[in-house]
Structure 1
Amino acid sequence: MSMSDSSDRRTDPLVALSVEQLRQRTSMKWRAHPSDVLPLWVAEMDVPLAPPVADALHRAVDRGDTGYPFGTAYAESLAEFAAARWRWDGLRVENTAIVPDVMMGIVEVLRLITDPGDAVVVCSPVYPPFYAFVSHDGRDIVEARLGPDLRTDLGALEEAFICARRGGRRAAFLMSNPHNPTGVVHTRAELEAIAALARSHGVRVVADEIHAPLILPGAHFTPFLSVPGSEDGFCVISASKAWNLAGLKAALAVAGSEAADDLRRMPEEVSHGPSHLGILAHTAAFRDGGEWLDELLVGLDANRSLLGTLVEENLPHVGYHPPQGTYLAWLDCTRFALHDEDGAGPGIVSDLAGPAKLFFDKARVALSSGHVFGTGGAGCVRLNFATSPEILREAVERMGRALTGLGPCP
């Protein structure tokens, strides 16, 4: 990195910690693999805690404020953030419910609008827990594969809706907005088309918007519940991904105006899942963490550009669509015809196969294996670039060396 680059990134949280400091962490990202492995897999960022969040937690601990959650400050802070960042003033505090985390919130919402044996549509390849959590709760998964441009294919989605509703079943569409793993940020026009299609087929939409604050330059986030036709839908959101708060559980389920009565049927005991400290942390992030988030987004944008250069230099036969949001990159390694048969299937996040196994064994770089993301994921990997430029550069250079001698198939 040049002197000017270093100066430009002096406030970037991604350059604040050394590898030695990161290896002192005890959470999953840095402890699941041996110390010679560079971990670019699970959605944890290599950043210090945002000062407003740290201050809120310190204040609570100092006064022994570690009891049960109370009040609506979390929902109020999200409403303020949504109005300021997304120009959406339609989030009503009374139409929200506190849930343990986004995936558990999704499960609880799906229980309100579907029964065991009903169908849940997903756009594959997609976040592996969509498969695991939904199928473990007795719902059937119906896939609508993304188009070649990695965006929603409305034709495939309509076919999936028809299949999901067959036999009079109730159905829901579990949407990733922005999309994980591709980093696609859905446009307002796309969301309006999805809402209209869901309405016409009697499908309820549940939007996972956990990555919503992480929109990179060149794109704009549209909350699903802000578009016409979304009134009977839901979103589930938290500050977890944008402020690195996975260890501080708390999320919010938000209902559209026509879905508020459904949300009120959520069992009261669901709200016991999140911790008081978690709610304080997420509230502080949405209310006071904007400046820190802006600095992070500058660093993520720089890393996105750096990754593009590194892929071109070291992985010229690997497909890379620069993500519009999130800190996740979807790398298409299918030209190398590396096989994924050894994997355990969609949603099983612990197994490595195909290119992810090659990069782990030969490059000592841990990535998320594409096959667990469902149809369209085999032969691909997901890379988390929320790390320092030095770690990112070293990892991709190792990956390039691992492919030496493995020419792409014609």
Structure 2
Amino acid sequence: MSSMNGGTSRAANPLCHLSLDQLQLRTSEKWHAFPRDVLPLFVAEMDVLLAESVVRAITDAVTRGDTGYPAGTAYAEALAEFARKRWDWEGISVERTAMVPDVMRGIVEILDVISCPADAVVISCPVYAPFYHFVEHTGRRIEEAPLGADQRLDFAALEEAFERAAQHGPRPVYLLCSPHNPTGTVHTANELATVAALAARHGIRVVSDEIHAPLVMPGAVFVPYLSVPGAENGMALMSASKAWNLAGLKAAVALAGPAAADDLARIPAWVQESPSHLGVIAHTAALRDGTSWLDDLLDGLDANRRLLADLLTEHLPGIRYQPGEGTYLAWLDCRNLGLGDDPAAVFLGHGKVALNSGPSFGTGGAGHARLNLATSPELLAEAVRRMAAATAIATAC
């Protein structure tokens, strides 16, 4: 046992299996974007080895030369079984699913079938930066509905944004992030039912990005948007990519409520043929056989959440941090440190720690930074020490 990770067994914790030297051999974005002396805790990649079931599935496929185009419904079937066991949700009908290359591409395709470029898209900010990039690339207008001070949905702000969106075009959309990135907020069933009721009142279609759904910490419960009353014409996107660290093996599933099946069917066939076949195999194996690995990961992430809170209290008490109920992302309020709108730039420049820039998440992001805590307890502790040193240097100037 180790006090560094809150008593979690290091042998079982997937976050404790790789050294810094081993991680620096990786060529993915997280370990390639910055020089070797920078500690990267930004992009959503985890410092883990893959679940054995996933490694076995990929290796077997490559051994038999099974590297063609994706086909069949195995991914959707595995997701439906996972949802039944994990969330006690029987609501995934394989007939109302479609494979898509990844969640963001799926969002764009859904926007194209349920709205047009003249329509507005509502987002609850601060929120995952690609929401802005992808929506704006389609030519659609963005209406922001800022979160409340408690980092939860502010329904007064949301209704105001819905009203503005409804005036702008005939088929407005609300792009929901559930669990929320970057705050880690897990929306309750009552909150989601309120979203559905407001959306119905204002003629808004809801599309829910649920990529972080398996990453919910002890004490919190993930509620699929399509499971709440009033969500029958909603759509959602899910993927095993975040929970099992499979971002490089692209595949996702789009789901439709009973009243949205015809919309889902209009997604072009070539889009549904675009996921990686190896990705589909890997994601299917993760959902079917990787739950024990996921449980060990969640224990390790929960320990890291508590460790981060302790480290910040000791080294950077000026940072306000409310541990999220989901995801492996920490939303750090650094406004009391006096580091300006973009504290991540200070941590990088003076401390050689790469975090995500708060302003990139939209309104409410200034003075914040997002930290990826899916790493070893040792690297997390080193990152906070570097951030504290960077703050001391910056504020002494």
SS of equivalent to 2:392: coil
Q: Which residue matches 1:404? A: 392
Q: Which aligned pairs between 1:37-116 and structure 2 lie closer than 5 A?
A: 37-116=38-117
CA drift at 1:404: 1.7
Contact 2:5 2:303 in 1 (8 A): no
1:149 and 2:137 aligned: no
CA distance in 1, matches of 2:5, 2:34: 34
CA drift at 1:218: 1.5
CA distance in 2, matches of 1:10, 1:138: 49
CA distance in 2, matches of 1:182, 1:148: 11
CA distance in 2, matches of 1:195, 1:7: 39
CA distance in 1, matches of 2:122, 2:229: 21
SS of equivalent to 2:369: strand
Cα distance change, pair 62–401 in 1 and its aligned pair in 2 (3 A): same
CA distance in 2, matches of 1:211, 1:222: 12
> Which one-letter code corresponds to 1:121 in the other structure?
V
Contact 2:339 2:394 in 1 (8 A): no
CA distance in 2, matches of 1:302, 1:393: 13
CA distance in 1, matches of 2:274, 2:329: 28
SS of equivalent to 1:382: strand
CA drift at 1:3: 9.2
CA drift at 1:7: 6.8
CA distance in 2, matches of 1:10, 1:393: 19
CA distance in 1, matches of 2:87, 2:28: 32
Contact 1:101 1:251 in 2 (8 A): yes
4+ long deviations beyond 6 Å: none
CA drift at 1:271: 1.2
Q: Which residue matches 1:391? A: 379
- Give the counterpart of 1:358 among 346, 352, 358: 346
Q: Which residue matches 1:345? A: none
CA distance in 1, matches of 2:190, 2:3: 41
Q: Which residue matches 2:18? A: 17
SS of equivalent to 2:95: helix
Alignment length, in residue pairs?
395
CA distance in 2, matches of 1:3, 1:208: 33
Tell me the TM-score normalized by structure 2. 0.97
Q: Which residue matches 1:343? A: none
SS of equivalent to 1:240: coil
Work out the percentage of aligned pairs sharing the same amino acid. Answer: 61
CA distance in 1, matches of 2:347, 2:381: 15
CA distance in 1, matches of 2:267, 2:5: 53
Q: Which residue matches 1:140? A: 141
- Give the counterpart of 1:377 among 365, 386, 392: 365
Cα distance change, pair 3–315 in 1 and its aligned pair in 2 (3 A): closer
CA distance in 2, matches of 1:242, 1:250: 13
CA distance in 2, matches of 1:339, 1:222: 36
Tell me the TM-score normalized by structure 1. 0.94
> Which one-letter code corresponds to 2:107 in the other structure?
I
SS of equivalent to 1:97: strand
Structure 1: which 5+ residue stretches go unaligned?
341-353
CA distance in 2, matches of 1:187, 1:7: 28
> Which one-letter code corresponds to 1:57 in the other structure?
I
Contact 1:336 1:406 in 2 (8 A): no
Structure 2: which 5+ residue stretches go unaligned?
none
> Which one-letter code corresponds to 1:371 in the other structure?
P
Write the deviation string for residues 105-163 of structure 1: whole angstroms up to 9, x where unpaired: 01101111110121000000000000000100111110000000000000000000000
Structure 1 vs Structure 2 CA RMSD:
1.4
CA drift at 1:68: 1.3
SS of equivalent to 1:331: strand
CA distance in 2, matches of 1:310, 1:106: 37
Q: Which aligned pairs between 1:310-349 and structure 2 lie closer than 5 A?
A: 310-340=311-341
CA distance in 2, matches of 1:236, 1:3: 36
1:304 and 2:305 aligned: yes
CA distance in 2, matches of 1:302, 1:290: 18
